[in-house]
Structure 1
Amino acid sequence: MALVKYGGVVLFLHFLCSAATVSAKVPAIIVFGDSTVDAGNNNNIPTILRSNFEPYGRDFYGKKPTGRFSNGRITSDFISEAFKIKPSIPAYLDPAYKISDFATGVTFASAGTGYDNATSDVLSVIPLWKEVEYYKDYQKKLRSYLGPRSANRVLTEALYMISIGTNDFLENYYTVPGRRSQFTVRQYQDFLVGIAGNFVRELYSLGARKISLGGLPPMGCLPLERTTNLMEQNQCVDSYNKVALEFNAKLKGLVKRLSSELHGINLVFSNPYYIMMFILRRPGSYGFESASVACCATGLFEMGYSCRKDNPFTCQDANKYVFWDAFHPTEKTGRIVADYVMRTVLARYL
């Protein structure tokens, strides 16, 4: 493993080994968020934003399209594996799983959602408040399954992961005029940070103590944003990346404030920005051949139903690509990000 300093941050370049080389002290991983951590909840709600068809999942176990927006596993799956819990985290609404499966890990995430309720309305997906309601239902089922004492121990010792926010900007603020007429972008950041703070406080009130609050990636470098950035010859949209950096700084400040405010909380900020930017600027360091165009179809606009198995442009080897579709990383990229987050932030929970 090599160390590289990039943007004032020391990055761990861990090329071949998986993050799953450490022992676990966390009994379960409980996940909230958007498509970065949705394992198939959207399959079971009336929305067009789904990925339960090929070629999604073509590198997953059994080549099964589960509803993950990836060719295989996603970052939260690798983190679960790193804690030696299980290799993948199931979706709460997936009828193939029971409370016995969810007892060691579950995701309530919904692709297309955000902190802002207005974001979830855009594509009729599960709002964040509803994810909390599902979690409360899960608590009841877990206490019935394990007994109150054992269930409460799991709920207290579990790692709670939150990965959300990109849709609030790209799907909502910069696309739908409503919020732009109400807020400047910095005011909207503050609005979202307020929601994030209340969300963490609510999880804390429900028994959560180990919480990872995720930041935004360099969202201006997603293939879709580059494709539509014609004025700058399809380069990354620097203004969007600046917004991501500013928002991440505010989330980091929130983590510091809440850590002082909430007694006994063990709250961390998991920041994917710098490792993603390093991959994007030096893709060859990880064996990638393309960082600007995605694997699926033409790799420019496709996500969900526009990423189809029969499209002749879909790449043969997703491991050569940073992105799977126009919004989401490949399994290989997710593994690298998980490895980085484990070693730099989440290792404190081991």
Structure 2
Amino acid sequence: MFRKKMLVLALFSIYFLSIEAVRNESFPALLAFGDSMVDTGNNNYLLTLMKGNYWPYGWNFDSKIPTGRFGNGRVFSDVVGGAGVDPVTSKLLRVLSPADQVKDFKGYKRKLKGVVGRSKAKKIVANSVILVSEGNNDIGITYAIHDAGMRLMTPKVYTSKLVGWNKKFIKDLYDHGARKFAVMGVIPLGCLPMSRLIFGGFFVWCNFLANTISEDYNKKLKSGIKSWRGASDFRGARFVYVDMYNSLMDVINNHRKYGFTHEKNGCCCMLTAIVPCSNPDKYVFYDFAHPSEKAYKTIAKKLVEDIKTGLA
């Protein structure tokens, strides 16, 4: 019971993306769902290896305490972790499935009603930004590991199914009162330190195939979002696509312009970085797959403005 209460509390803490977002009072809260791009420690309460609640994670976070965020400090947003909309992903990683997340969302709504009343709770949920980050683990882990030897789907078939699963997940949230969705595309998965090391010639190149699959998924997701706007099953909903891929790729390609000196290797937690680097702010990636706090801050300003403009 304690674990369940703590999970719901952590999963749906109200957290604002930035000071700029707080100043615009049109959004009472930001609730995030999805994968480790937005995890703030929910995996701490799960029986999974996908955890970041140990040193050197959290090195630059408040009080220098590892909270479960996959980075040296704050992540792109708060809430949820290491998940995916492919039903296989949550089983492989032993993390919250989309159905689990929706169930906890319902629990959050019940608690919110108890605090502010039914009418105000409904208004808060309807006007909150629902940030959805799905696809990174599905493509980078599930498809690369499981589908290659099991389901034998082509990349194009898989990305189409992934968009469909994403739509179903968002529809479940919509059916429970959510109306404003900021849907994140996947990051350039072929340029992650892990992908470069394994498939890209020891950090020389990005993995072309992984980036091609990422771009295909993002293109279909963006197109899908356009078609969902005004659709009868999403009446009254607003959507904005959050371009994580090109935002982070710009930082990678122009890293020196943004004050980074390392865009290929991670700062820590890899065979090539067993001893953590002394200055994470010089690295685009903190570990094998997650951007550093400075990288998130670098891309966040424009993306926050896009979210505010698209959902206001």
SS class of match (2:71) = coil
Residue 299 of structure 1: how far off its partner (Å)? 6.7
Residue 349 of structure 1: how far off its partner (Å)? 3.6
Residue 175 of structure 1: how far off its partner (Å)? 1.2
Which of 264, 274, 289 aligns to 2:246? It is: 274
Partners of 1:252 and 1:299 in 2: CA distance: 36
> Deviation string for 1:118-137 (max 9, x for gaps)?
01111211111111111011
Partner of 1:244: 214
Partner of 1:235: 205
* Residue range with higher mean Cα deviation, 32-41 or 262-271: 262-271
Identity across matched positions, percent:
32
**Superposition pairs of residues 254-265 of structure 1, within 5 angstroms:** 254-261=224-231, 262-265=234-237
Residue 231 of structure 1: how far off its partner (Å)? 5.0
* Residue range with higher mean Cα deviation, 216-225 or 172-181: 172-181
Partner of 1:74: 75
Partners of 1:294 and 1:232 in 2: CA distance: 12
Partner of 2:128: 158
Partner of 2:45: 44
Residue 182 of structure 1: how far off its partner (Å)? 3.8
Asked whether 1:110 is paired with 2:47, we answer no
Q: In structure 1, give the amino acid aligned to 2:42.
A: N
8 A Cα contact 2:139 2:214, kept in partner = no
CA distance change for structure 1 residues 233 and 60 in 2, over 3 Å: closer, same or farther?
A: closer
Which of 105, 112, 115 aligns to 1:142? It is: 112
Partner of 2:62: 61
Q: In structure 1, give the amino acid aligned to 2:260.
A: F
Asked whether 1:318 is paired with 2:280, we answer yes
8 A Cα contact 1:222 1:326, kept in partner = yes
SS class of match (2:132) = strand
8 A Cα contact 1:293 1:299, kept in partner = no
Asked whether 1:334 is paired with 2:306, we answer no
8 A Cα contact 1:75 1:337, kept in partner = no
Asked whether 1:205 is paired with 2:153, we answer no
Partner of 1:3: none
Partner of 1:285: 257
> Deviation string for 1:104-147 (max 9, x for gaps)?
xxx2x222x21111011112111111111110111111111111
CA distance change for structure 1 residues 324 and 232 in 2, over 3 Å: closer, same or farther?
A: closer
Gaps of 5+ in 1: 1-17, 77-88, 90-106, 303-310
8 A Cα contact 1:173 1:180, kept in partner = no
SS class of match (2:172) = helix
Residue 49 of structure 1: how far off its partner (Å)? 1.3
Partner of 1:224: 194
Partner of 1:195: 165
CA distance change for structure 1 residues 245 and 318 in 2, over 3 Å: closer, same or farther?
A: same
Q: In structure 1, give the amino acid aligned to 2:193.
A: P
Partner of 2:139: 169
SS class of match (2:276) = coil
CA distance change for structure 1 residues 155 and 298 in 2, over 3 Å: closer, same or farther?
A: closer
8 A Cα contact 1:70 1:328, kept in partner = yes
Q: In structure 1, give the amino acid aligned to 2:226.
A: K
8 A Cα contact 1:172 1:179, kept in partner = no
Gaps of 5+ in 2: 1-16
Partners of 1:148 and 1:249 in 2: CA distance: 39
Q: In structure 1, give the amino acid aligned to 2:72.
A: N
CA distance change for structure 1 residues 293 and 299 in 2, over 3 Å: closer, same or farther?
A: farther
CA distance change for structure 1 residues 168 and 179 in 2, over 3 Å: closer, same or farther?
A: farther
Q: In structure 1, give the amino acid aligned to 2:66.
A: P
SS class of match (2:265) = coil
CA distance change for structure 1 residues 189 and 146 in 2, over 3 Å: closer, same or farther?
A: same
Residue 230 of structure 1: how far off its partner (Å)? 5.3
Partners of 2:105 and 2:122 in 1: CA distance: 13
Q: In structure 2, give the amino acid aligned to 1:30.
A: L
CA distance change for structure 1 residues 40 and 232 in 2, over 3 Å: closer, same or farther?
A: closer
Residue 179 of structure 1: how far off its partner (Å)? 7.0
Partner of 1:8: none
8 A Cα contact 1:299 1:325, kept in partner = no
CA distance change for structure 1 residues 30 and 179 in 2, over 3 Å: closer, same or farther?
A: farther
Q: Which has the higher contact order (CA 8 A, sep 6+)?
A: 1
TM-score by length of 2: 0.88
Residue 330 of structure 1: how far off its partner (Å)? 0.4
8 A Cα contact 1:174 1:180, kept in partner = no
8 A Cα contact 1:116 1:168, kept in partner = yes
CA distance change for structure 1 residues 28 and 235 in 2, over 3 Å: closer, same or farther?
A: same
